[in-house]
Chains A and B, each alone.
Chain A
Amino acid sequence: MPLDPSFIGRTYPPTAPYEVGREKIREFAEAVGDPNPVYRDQEAAKALGHADVIAPPTFPFVITYRASAQVVNDPELGLDFSRVVHGDQRFVYTRPVRAGDRLAVTCVIESIKSLAGNDVLSVRGEVHEESGEHVVTAHMMLVARAAEEG
């Protein structure tokens, strides 16, 4: 059964703030094999004009992925997560995520489409610092493959 298009525009409550730690950024940079000192060394980060170590460009997904559970697990929406693949991902940054940030995510369902029997769901995650400052917007497109016949 296709997803209900009346969910387009639905906005979920902001998540509890995620506190970005220096060691978490370091762990993420090591996991992607990136030796850039701006992810580890406060002095290197300050030399580039940042207030503290910054996180790699795809780090915000760690936070927005958790937040998107509100949408994908919404029983009223009824998405079959076992059939979901990640179709695309885009980030629009006001500034990089940095150590010490406390980030809340507000998820919005941007679109629901049915293409060749597949449900295509686009979710926007607006990421704000506790002070209200916008940090990054994440756009995620999920494809729930059509159930097999029979």
Chain B
Amino acid sequence: MTAKVNYDEVEVGAELPAQSFPVTRATLVQYAGASGDFNPIHWNEAFATSVGLPDVIGHGMFTMAEAIRVVTDWLGDPGAVVEYGVRFTKPVVVPNDGVGAVIEVSAKVGAKLDDRRVRVDLLATSAGQKVLGMSRAVVQLA
């Protein structure tokens, strides 16, 4: 399983096409159902505020799922992701205003590794706050 991107044509520092991902309350309900994570902080405002959160927050794993799309869309084959890790630094706050939040993701090639692999460094923000830290993927290129 390798990507459509050729290792020899990739340079360190090269930027992948950035993307924005909208998140509404409906998105979170749908993700809760698909993932099996029904923690009420992701859909129940009264519960979320009762435990000290500013509002309903998105699942960290949802943000993680969106961020890697910048990489898998670039690769063509998502099976070429060999490692992917993130740190959850701030929550994505999702207000019930019909608009919700937006997760902005940018990425660049951080290092060229052995065996035609590269490390991609990701940056994910929402409402101007960094929501993922130490967010990195290692991918197998052609």
Contact = CB atoms under 8 A, between A and B. Distances in A.
Given A28-B34, A39-B78, 16 more contacts: A31-B27, A57-B81, A58-B61, A65-B36, A65-B37, A87-B87, A87-B88, A88-B85, A88-B86, A88-B87, A88-B88, A90-B85, A90-B86, A92-B83, A95-B79, A139-B85
B62 interface: yes
A54 B61 contact: no
B60 A31 contact: no
Interface in B82-96: 82-88
Given A32-B31, A56-B65, A58-B68, A96 B83 contact: no
Interface stretch (B69-77, B104-112, B121-129): B69-77
A114 interface: no
Contact of A31 (B33, B85, B86, B87): B33
Contact of B34 (A31, A85, A88, A90): A31
Nearest to A45: B79
Size class of the contact patch on chain A: 20 to 34
A39, A50, A89, A92: residue with the most chain B Cβ atoms closer than 10 Å: A89
Nearest to A38: B78
23 contacts: A34-B69, A36-B73, A36-B78, A48-B77, A48-B79, A49-B77, A50-B79, A56-B72, A57-B65, A57-B68, A57-B81, A57-B84, A61-B35, A65-B36, A87-B88, A88-B134, A89-B85, A90-B85, A91-B85, A92-B82, A92-B83, A96-B1, A139-B85
Interface string A40-66: 000000001110001011100110011
Interface in A52-85: 54, 56-58, 61-62, 65-66, 82, 85
A56 B64 contact: no
Q: Which of A30, A33, A50, A66 has the most chain B CB within a 10 Å cutoff?
A: A33
A27 interface: yes
Contact of B36 (A62, A96, A139): A62
B49 to A, nearest CB: 15
Given A56-B78, A57-B72, A61-B61, A89 B83 contact: no
B42 to A, nearest CB: 12
- Among A30, A34, A95, the most chain B Cβ lie within 10 Å of the Cβ of A34
Nearest to A31: B34
A93 interface: yes
Contact of B35 (A62, A86, A89, A96): A62
Closest 5 pairs between A and B when the two form their complex, measured CB to CB: A90-B85, A31-B34, A88-B87, A32-B65, A96-B79
A91 B37 CA distance: 18
